[in-house]
Structures are given as structure tokens and as C-alpha cells.
Amino acid sequence: MTVLIIDDEKNICLTLTQILSDEGYNVQSCNTARDGLRELEDLDPDVVLLDVKLPDINGIEVLSRIKKNQNEIPVIMISGNSSITDAVKAIKLGAFDFIEKPLSLPKIKVTIAKAVEFSRLAKEFSRLRSEFEQNWEMIGNSSVMRDLNEMINRIAPSNAKILIQGESGTGKELVARLIHTRSPRLGKPFIKFNSAAIPRELVESELFGYERGAFTGAQTRKKGKLEEADGGTLFLDEIGDMESAAQAKILRVIQEGEFERVGGNFTHRIDVRIIAATNKNLAEMVNNGSFREDLFYRLNVVPVYTAPLRERREDIPLLVKHFSAMLAVELNTKSKEYSAKAMEFLSTPNYPGNVRELRNIIERIYLLCDKVLLEPSDIESLLPGAAINAEIAAFWKNTAAFADKKREFEMRYLQTQLTLFGGNISRTAEALGMQQSNLSRKLQELGIR
């Protein structure tokens, strides 16, 4: 740990250097502000001890320059005859502490130890924040992604309610987090609440919290996700799956900024920004009565659409490289490279699971392929539907009665489509332009489970 002392009294510099060196610090000292500022750039110290009265530049001005250019460095001000006004001004500018001369060496040691720990935590926070931002980075140069990024930049500084709609795996949570990190609420909580992942009978208690004795097993008071998000952002994922009672209470939060815990009568005021997301068509759900119309219009102040991967195929090579670099670090292995044909091969599937599915495939490649430079033949069997495709190729070469072949074709085609959509009948029917009831009837007729 390095300490930089800027003080025009050479005896103080010498004494502090000896004391702090004995404590294990690397100590450098300067007797003028200009020398100190130059040393600051080269040394990058963990702590600065700065005198208020310097011969060339006032210490308060030096503090201001340090905080402007290297704000993360804690600065301890020292002075022999400064006023309270100087002390207040220094603290307002961001000084870590203000110590009067004659210096108490035990106090100096304790204060520097605290400042060093503060510096360590600040650097750790900066590192974690950088890693967080990289993990939630939006990848893509397509016009769709450029428009989305511009939209995020425009709406993030406001408190407007936002409804993000798009297929599963298109990055709705990523968009919500980027809106939060680019907003004035950065540094406040970002709390995610997934309505589809929680049993319906627990939605209200998880979201709003509960009082002791509110129900069997409620032995203590518990804050809900809404309270945890106070001052920050509440991300309501899969809002289309939220039950009607919870919808009504969320509407009250949006309209009045207040709520009660389950089993409680006290009204809590809340300051929270709400971002909702869904892969369902909420407008259609409003029409059929399964989602509240008033809540839909309250949430849909700024609609945001996340495009499926098939609508921005030009971004796939960038995503492949991004996931490859990330997985090489995670798995502690060499980063894989892809030939032009292999990259074209990876850009061909529709990826019904979108970016999430692509990421899983790249991880599969890292785990199962030993080669560093990959060709299509190395990854063909790992792509979605690969085994099915080989079987279908043989199907076309086999001659049989037309009626039998038609039935076999329908069976194989629907089985393939169901596999591509993860066995989800509603999504398969939507992709094929069929009513779900008609598809279910056809599957039953063909004996397909």
C-alpha cells in the first residue's frame, strides 16, 4: 500500500515517512503542490496526506483537482492553523478526514488504516461494477440493436413505466438492467420478481411482504420485493402470469405509491420505478379479460420490443465471439475460433430459444469439442435438430405409398417442430399458423405425445 505525503514542513514529512514505513507502507513525500500533483499521476497512491497551507497552491485547490481526476483516492487533510470554514469546505469536496496539527501519531495510523481499507473497497467495487457491466453488455451492430440502444439511452433518465415485450431468450432482463444502470437510480437496488416462478398463493406475500401471524407459518415480519426495491427499480418479469389480485395491488402502487403488507393495516409509502416484461401478447389478454386493462395502460407508458435472433442474424457472429471469450475465461481454456463456413453454419438456425439458446450451444461446443479451430463438421451434430436432420434426409429417399408417406411426413414434421420449440404446443401452433386446439387434435390423431 502506497501513501503520498504533500506537506511543506520537511520535518513532518520525515517523521511520517519513518512511522508509516515501519507500519509496512510504501511512502513518498513532496514539499510543494505541483510536485505532489506530478507524483500523484506517476505513483497512483492508495492514500494521500495533504497539507492545507502549501507555498504554491492552496491545499483545498489541490484536493479539488485530485477529486476531479482521481476521485477514488482517499485524501486526508492536515493543517496547523486552518479555520472551520476550510475543514467544512474540504469535507464537502470529498476529503476522507481532516486532522489538525500537532499530529497525533496514533490517530494518523488509525485514520490511514481506515483510508487504505476504504481505497481497497472502492477498487473492489469498481472491479465488480466493471464485471457487472460486461456481463450485462448488449451485443450487436444491427439496426435493430442500434435502435434499441438509442431507446434505452432516451428513456433511462426518466421515471417512466416501461413494458418490455419479446420472445423468451431475447434479453428482456438485460434491457431492464441497462435502463436501471443508465438511470439516476444506479447504486440503488435492482430487484427482480418473476410471477411465473412463484406459486400463485405466494405471489402477494413475496411481492408485498407480510406481517407476523398473517398466515400459518408467518412467525416473523418479512419485507417483500417491493420494499426491497425502494429507491431503485422493481423488474416484474413475466407480468402476464400475475394473478388478478396481485395485479390490482400493483396498480395501486403505480397510481398512489403505497401498499400494505399481507396481514397488515399500515400503509407504506414507496419510491420505486417499475419495469415489466412479458413474452405474451398483453393487448390480446386484455381483450379476452385475462389481464387488467387499466394496469396494461399504466405499464405500457413506453413500450420496448426485443427482437428475436432470427430478425437480426447479422449479430450472431458477434454473439458467438462474445460467448466464446466469456466461456474461455469461465472454463479456463483456450478461446475457440470459427472458420468462415462454421460461422455461417452457426448463423443458419432459427434458434427458437434466441440468444439464450445460442449461448447454450456455444457452451456445448466448448465442453464437447477439443479442436481450437472449428469447421462445420465439428459442430454440426451439436446444433438444434442435428440428429433429426440426418433422419429426415433418409426419409426422402425411401419410396412408399403416397397416403402412408403423407402420414409419415406429417408425423415427422410435427415431431420436428415440437422438438425445435421444446415441446411447447402453444408456441409450435403459433409458429405454424394453427389454432392450438387444431394442432392438439392433429397430434392426437397421429398418436404423437
User: In this predicted structure, which of 35-44, 387-396, 421-430 has the lowest mean pLDDT?
Assistant: 387-396
Q: Is residue 25 pLDDT above 50, yes or no?
A: yes
pLDDT number for residue 348: 85
Q: Which three cell numbers stand for residue 439?
A: 394442432
Instruction: Read off the pLDDT of each residue in 239-268 and give the average, rounded to a whole number.
Output: 89
How would residue 123 be classed by pLDDT, with cut points 50, 70 and 90? Answer: confident
Higher confidence at residue 9 or residue 404?
9
Q: Is residue 395 pLDDT above 90, yes or no?
A: no
Domains 2-132 and 310-382 share a fold: no
**Which residues are CB-neighbours of 282 under 8 A, at least 6 positions away?**
163, 165, 239, 240, 291, 296, 300
HEC assignment per residue over 187-225? CECEEEEEHHHCCHHHHHHHHHCECCCCCCCCCCCECCH
User: In this predicted structure, which of 126-135, 143-152, 204-213, 396-405 has the lowest mean pLDDT?
Assistant: 126-135
In 3D space, the residue among 145, 139, 138, 136 whose CA is nearest the CA of residue 307 turns out to be 145
Q: Is residue 131 pLDDT above 60, yes or no?
A: no
Can you name the residues that pair with 237 across neighbouring β-strands? 194
Would you tell me the crossing angle of helices 59-69 and 33-43 to the nearest 10 degrees? 20
Instruction: Read off the pLDDT of each residue in 441-446 and give the average, rounded to a whole number.
Output: 87
302-306, strands of its sheet edge to edge:
190-194, 233-237, 273-278, 162-166, 302-306
Buried b (16+ CB within 10 A) or exposed e, 230-243: bebbbbbbbbbbbe
Would you tell me the crossing angle of helices 172-181 and 143-155 to the nearest 10 degrees? 40
pLDDT number for residue 419: 81
Q: Where are the domains of the chain?
A: 2-132, 143-307, 310-382, 387-446
In 3D space, the residue among 267, 249, 256, 158 whose CA is nearest the CA of residue 195 turns out to be 249
CATH 3.40.50.2300 fits 2-132, yes or no: yes
Q: How many residues does the chain have?
A: 449
Whole-Å CA distances, 401 to 404, 408, 415, 445, 447 = 5, 11, 21, 19, 20
Q: Is residue 392 pLDDT above 70, yes or no?
A: no
Q: Rg (Cα) of the chain, in Å, rounded?
A: 31
Instruction: Read off the pLDDT of each residue in 5-28 and give the average, rounded to a whole number.
Output: 90
Angle among Cα 299, 221, 161 to the nearest 5 degrees reads 10
Can you name the residues that pair with 302 across neighbouring β-strands? 162
User: In this predicted structure, which of 369-383, 386-400, 410-424 has the lowest mean pLDDT?
Assistant: 386-400
pLDDT number for residue 384: 67
- Residue 382 neighbours by CB distance under 10 Å: 15
CATH 3.40.50.300 fits 143-307, yes or no: yes
pLDDT digits (tens, 9 = 90+) for 43-90: 778 899 999 889 898 989 999 998 888 888 899 999 877 778 888 888
Q: Assess contact for 77 and 6: CB atoms under 8 A.
A: no
Q: Assess contact for 191 and 206: CB atoms under 8 A.
A: no
In 3D space, the residue among 189, 173, 181, 137 whose CA is nearest the CA of residue 156 turns out to be 181
Q: Is residue 309 pLDDT above 90, yes or no?
A: yes
The mean pLDDT of the chain is: 87
Question: How far is it, in rounded angstroms, from Cα 278 to Cα 256?
Answer: 24
pLDDT number for residue 234: 95
User: In this predicted structure, which of 26-30, 200-204, 241-245, 288-292 has the lowest mean pLDDT?
Assistant: 200-204
pLDDT number for residue 388: 47
DSSP state of 292: -
Q: Is residue 387 pLDDT above 80, yes or no?
A: no
- Which residue bears the cell 497512491? 45
Angle among Cα 115, 119, 124 to the nearest 5 degrees reads 150
Can you name the residues that pair with 47 across neighbouring β-strands? 3
What is the CATH number assigned to the segment(s) 387-446?
1.10.10.60
Q: Which three cell numbers stand for residue 83?
A: 479555520
CATH architecture of the domain with residue range 310-382: Orthogonal Bundle (1.10)
pLDDT number for residue 408: 82
Angle among Cα 336, 387, 407 to the nearest 5 degrees reads 155
